[in-house]
Structure 1
Amino acid sequence: MLDDFFVRALLAGLGVAVVAGPLGCFVVWRRMAYFGDTMAHSSLLGVALALLMQLPLLLSVFVVAAAISLLLLLLQRRRALSTDALLGILSHSTLALGLVIVSFMYWVRIDLQAFLFGDILAVTSGDIALIWAGGLLTLALLAWLWRPLLASTISHELAEAEGLHPQRAQLCFMLLMAVVIAIAMKVVGIMLITSLLIIPAAAARRFSRTPEAMAVLAAVMAMLAVSGGLWGSLQWDTPSGPSIVVAALGLFLCSLLPWPQWLPAGQKAGTQRL
């Protein structure tokens, strides 16, 4: 029989995996991996502000991540620096600022390693409820935004011509990223959140004929990574968050192996423009 803490960890991990896979497809298609890292690093600033001002942790992380997204959009419009330079500035400065604020709060005992690399084995029933509620809400909104997001990913001008409001869709996508980062922080940690978005989606790309199929398969890959990582963590007493990422890496490496010829041909036919 599995221990209660392991069952809770599995439920929490699967809740994150279900939404991380489809959302991660857009991160891969839009080449937004560095943007994901920036938002993830900013979540430590959200943690620090939550502890300093006694705010709800998930709410504070979401608000900070969303604010960083809006700040990035405003700075991009000024065109003073390239996007990658802006992302580098925001990513490292928010992470450093969060660490500095935490270091000043000598009256608070905080396990930084749990925030940086996850502490999925310590999730509670309340955490599971928040993860699944946030995940299902994100999936519903992603389904609603699917057409404008996909169209703007292929061609921003085409999406505008069809009246799909690509800029509004991009803003909503950034807010969905903030939600996922907030709910995934306890599962894989601030430093590894982006990997759970990118690696399963990258592994699924090889075997997908259509964008929709890739989104579903990415969710399955993420769920397999969570299950395999937790099992490996239990067997070999390794850190759970990094173990999940290593399991995802294993799936990605398997996707690179020689497979029947129809698999790569199917991928090219369905997602070659993404």
Structure 2
Amino acid sequence: MDLSRVDLNLLVSLDVLLEECNVTRAAQRLHVSQPALSAQLGRLRHLFDDPLLVPASVGRGMTPTSRALPLRDSLKAALKGLEVVLAREHPFDPAQDARDFQIATTDNGIIVVGLPLLSRLQSEAGAGVRVAFRLLDTTQLSQQIERREVDLVIAPPSMFPPFLKARRIYDEVYAIAQRRDHPRGTEPLSLDGYCALDHVLVSLKGGLYEGRVDQALAKLGRNRRVRLSLPNFTSVPQVLQATDYVCTMPARFAKSLKDELDVFELPFAVPGFAMHMAWHPREQSDAAQSWLRTQVLEVVNSGR
């Protein structure tokens, strides 16, 4: 095939078409109209002398032909190589360039990493740099990353797929928080005192009344009273201020609430966890994403 005859934009469209196997969804991802993408598909069929995608026997989608199937991996690899070349030729200038970054994380990650990151970007980036946070959905994350709907993940490694490149950014331990003027006072907690309190448990999966704290207590032959289970940490301060409940939470998150709540060390050991940032290997050399990862490291290190 004569490469001088090939419009690279057509290959980008083919890559998305082969991922989606649906012209409507592919057009939405490519930000073009469906008729325009259908016309591009016609040109691709002429270029490869093959239908490439044919109507599926069931449903409204399409099925790759035997000629198109082996194209998927080789085409994606070729496009990734071109991205690396272009990234090296065009360094990212955060003061002048426009770029939208999509970050998937937990509500804990938004507070502990996201807020100081946004503060830093106010001084380090121009108006063209925008950031969107989304709550991490482990069931959709792989597809979101492949579709470039997520640029960076900030989470423990158990929450993201192993094919991502990752870097440990900090280690986390746990602390306990209570409202100001709590009837138990502000003395350091004993194990007996901890177990006698009414607890809030945060379960990201929702509806659970046991977690790693309860596992640690069970090894000591003890248990606690969990009175409330919540799906996130951001609603905990309001609950604690309205009740005599306490909550065991990541220490960095608890530290961010020091003006609202009293925070104490736990009277027993609970295994902590490591927070990582992770990204698709194809973005390793992307100048803009490399810059973003550097900013995350800077805000995390400055907070130690």
- TM category (shorter chain) comes to under 0.3
Larger radius of gyration: 2
**TM-score between the two structures when normalised by the length of structure 2:** 0.24
Higher relative contact order (CA 8 A, sep 6+): 1
> Larger helix proportion, structure 1 or 2?
1
> Larger strand proportion, structure 1 or 2?
2
